[in-house]
Amino acid sequence: MLTAIEQVDEAFKRIGRIDKVIRAMASTLEVSAKEKAARLGDAHDSNSPLYGTPVVIKDNICTLEGKTTCASAILRDFASPYAADVVERLEKAGAIIVGKTNLDEFAMGSTTENSGLWPTRNPWNPDYVPGGSSGGSAAAVASRMVAHALGSDTGGSIRQPASFCGVCGLKPTYGRVSRYGLVAFASSLDQIGPIATNARDLADMLGVIAGHDARDSTCVDEPVPDYAGMLTEPFGKPRIGVAAEYFGDGVHPETRKAVEAAIETLKSLGAEVSEVHLPHTPYVIACYYLICTAEASSNLARFDGVRYGHRTDAPKDYFDVYSKSRAEGFGAEVKRRIMLGTFALSSGYYDQFYNKALRVRTLIKRDFDQAFQKCDAILSPTTPTPAFKFGEKSQNPLEMYLTDIYNCAANLAGIPALSIPCGHALDGLPIGLQLMGRHFDEGRLLQIAHHYQQATDFHEKRPPICA
């Protein structure tokens, strides 16, 4: 077993070699990481599975060391005065944070092309996107710079890049993990979750970061199960519902083939598979983008050029401070979403757009409630297609938004969902399988994923850059 110092040294060697191509890291924390590793020494008597383990954190999660930039010019030099709850929990468990990862600016995007720093590349093929907005975290794990990462998921931002990069990603139940220290995008949708190479590592990380935190009023005081212990419980005959609406014409043939093969594998393990319906699926994208942009407009109003963040040079008056600082600091996609959200909340349009979206959200949640009366988990492709090339969808925002069509519903309903690798396309790009569960039923999802991974080896495949 490697000591903490040896693990950290190895992580920085891999980052130094691989990240020149992938550009997954927004910043590294080599000095503080090595100091913490030295304090841990070579002790192995901790009960924590993360003791001495290098971890990377998405750069919209606050850390005391280094900067928290959200990959945005408006926060280029921001140093947080406090650490997020998840960071405190990881460090208490002996994990060592070795760096912050790149993302779409303020977590608004599906490719990491919208980063105000630089684009992150897919480890399987650098000409392709890694997904987003947690593209840096997924790419770092896929290229084996580290084995564990944290991301955030507002509408698929953990699961979609996990699928594109061939790793595992979990969006917990809303309220399962504290959002204290997460820079807000859409507060009723945001959730922090783990990214790793296998279900066991996801379970280990979730066991550490989950739990009540009084500093987050939406964090639920619910007991935290032994997720790792649940993995090896008998598989039994879980009832798995296949979401019929998620297998339409837009599904890539190779994605369909891989997911159908995964269904057969789960059947061979004893799962009872049946079709379920989520009839309000056609309204998910419209509902999601009304709610998330409205909440983004409200949350990002705090970046005003006064208290922290970028401030324009030589402003004439307060209006100049506000308007020019924001114009200079925010990128095009963030501006687009702020404008859309401000319009949806404006006088005369609130009921027509935002309020109606909230009512549709209730119907979407009701679809899941009814489906879970017939099954224990719902299965679908994570994304309609494997990863696509840089620039392929960047000129068409609507086409880009539709890449998250199978992910947003779980955020709207507040339920847990995870993505695991289930195959590869003919060009070698990974394909992901999504499992969604009842509120606080992460243990069951992880158990299903773990048993599937005991019967397959897709999660063990490594991209060529790891050679």
Known catalytic residues? 58, 133, 157
Q: Give the CA distances from residue 253 to residues 44, 165, 412, in Å, rounded to whole numbers and listed in that order.
A: 48, 19, 28
DSSP track, 183-236? PPSSTTT--EEEEESSHHHHHHHHHHHBS--TTSTT----PPP-HHHHTTS---
Q: Give the CA distances from residue 345 to residues 339, 362, 363, in Å, rounded to whole numbers and listed in that order.
A: 10, 19, 21
Helix (H, G, I), strand (E, B) or coil at 408: helix
Cis bond before residue 152 (omega within 30° of 0): no
Q: Taking the CB of residue 399, how many other CB atoms lie within 10 A of it? A: 12
Q: Give the CA distances from residue 153 to residues 27, 109, 111, 258, 403, in Å, rounded to whole numbers and listed in that order.
A: 21, 11, 13, 24, 14
Helix (H, G, I), strand (E, B) or coil at 27: strand
Residue ranges of E strands in 287-437: 377-381, 417-424, 430-437
Cα–Cα distance, 10 to 16 (Å, whole number):
10
